[in-house]
């Protein structure tokens, strides 16, 4: 029986391409905002690169058979987010002051710090939870948690949940966050577990509507109910 390919070198190649793109976008953003490429345009992209290269090493050691495309895509999206925030930081000061605007300040640097924390938690999860199937034992609890997190900002008073007119946040003193982002992960775990567990019955059509075969309502109902509630909130 042929062995499953690890494809870690492919992941590394895709990751390097993503990181090069981040450096290029950072240089372009600096040139557009400051009218020249400053000598420290590379600092934030370099920090992002170190973080995601470290994540690649963890995956190579702990989860060698993981999908090789996920980490490079995450790195690219995150790095572009850092570059965009850097551009917004520069846009908040006068043109004459932009060339001396410190790298280790503003929202872009905070984003790098949050990236470091997130990748650290990701690495810890990979190391501690060696069998991802064990999470399936908590699938329904995670689904309920996801629904609660989605609804939480709507339940809380505006003083604790409203930012710029949108009730999407939870404010705890100086810290504010969007519980909906954590809800996405919890709901994803629930949907993945339910769809895998019910894949056989979901593949059996019980009703045809407008030329499309649909599964039985009692099988598809829980997923639709959770999804509709999330959308309504």
For residues 191 and 223, the answer to whether their CB atoms sit within 8 Å is: yes
- pLDDT digit string, tens, across residues 29-60: 999 888 888 888 999 999 999 999 999 999 99
The mean per-residue pLDDT over the stretch 141-161 comes to 90
Sequence spans of domains, the chain: 1-130, 132-233
On average, the pLDDT of the chain sits at 88
* For residue 209, pLDDT beyond 80: no
Pairing of strands 166-167, 162-163: antiparallel
Split at pLDDT 50, 70, 90, the class of 169 is confident
Model pLDDT, residue 56: 98
For residues 8 and 57, the answer to whether their CB atoms sit within 8 Å is: no
Element (H, E) at 64: none
- Residue 216's CB is within 10 A of a number of other CB atoms, namely 14
- Residue 89's CB is within 10 A of a number of other CB atoms, namely 20
* For residue 210, pLDDT beyond 80: no
- pLDDT digit string, tens, across residues 72-111: 999 999 999 999 999 999 988 888 888 888 889 899 999 9
Model pLDDT, residue 1: 44
Split at pLDDT 50, 70, 90, the class of 205 is low
Q: What is the pTM of this model?
A: 0.80
* For residue 25, pLDDT beyond 90: yes
Nearest to 79, CA basis, from 31, 105, 45: 45
What is the gyration radius of the CA atoms in the chain, in angstroms?
22
DSSP 166-233: EE--EEETTEEE-HHHHHHHHHHHHHHHHHHHTHHHHTS--EEETTEEE--HHHHHHHHHHHHHHHH-
Identity of the highest mean pLDDT range in 59-63, 97-101, 218-222, 225-229: 59-63
Burial code (b: 16+ CB inside 10 Å, e: under 16) for 99-132 equals eebebeebebbebbeebeeebeeebeebeeeeee
């Amino acid at each position: 029986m042929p062995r499953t390919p690890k494809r870690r070198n492919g992941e590394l190649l895709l990751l390097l391409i993503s990181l090069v793109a981040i450096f290029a976008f950072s240089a372009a953003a600096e040139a557009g905002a400051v009218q020249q490429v400053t000598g420290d345009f590379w600092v934030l992209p370099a920090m992002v690169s170190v973080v995601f290269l470290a994540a690649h090493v963890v995956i190579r050691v702990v989860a060698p058979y993981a999908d090789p495309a996920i980490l490079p895509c995450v790195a690219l999206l995150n790095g572009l987010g850092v570059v965009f925030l850097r551009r917004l930081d520069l846009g908040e000061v006068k043109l004459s002051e932009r060339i001396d605007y410190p790298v280790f300040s503003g929202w872009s640097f905070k984003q790098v710090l949050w990236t470091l924390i997130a990748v650290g938690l990701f690495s810890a999860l990979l190391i501690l939870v060696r069998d991802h199937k064990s999470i399936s034992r908590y699938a329904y609890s995670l689904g309920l948690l996801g629904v609660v997190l989605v609804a939480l900002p709507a339940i809380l008073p505006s003083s604790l949940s409203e930012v710029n007119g949108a009730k999407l946040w939870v404010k705890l003193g100086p810290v504010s966050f969007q519980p909906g982002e954590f809800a996405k992960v919890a709901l994803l775990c629930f949907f993945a577990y339910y769809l895998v567990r019910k894949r056989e019955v979901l593949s059996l059509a019980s009703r045809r509507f407008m030329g499309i075969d649909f599964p039985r309502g009692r099988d598809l109902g829980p997923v639709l109910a959770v999804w509709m509630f999330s959308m309504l909130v």
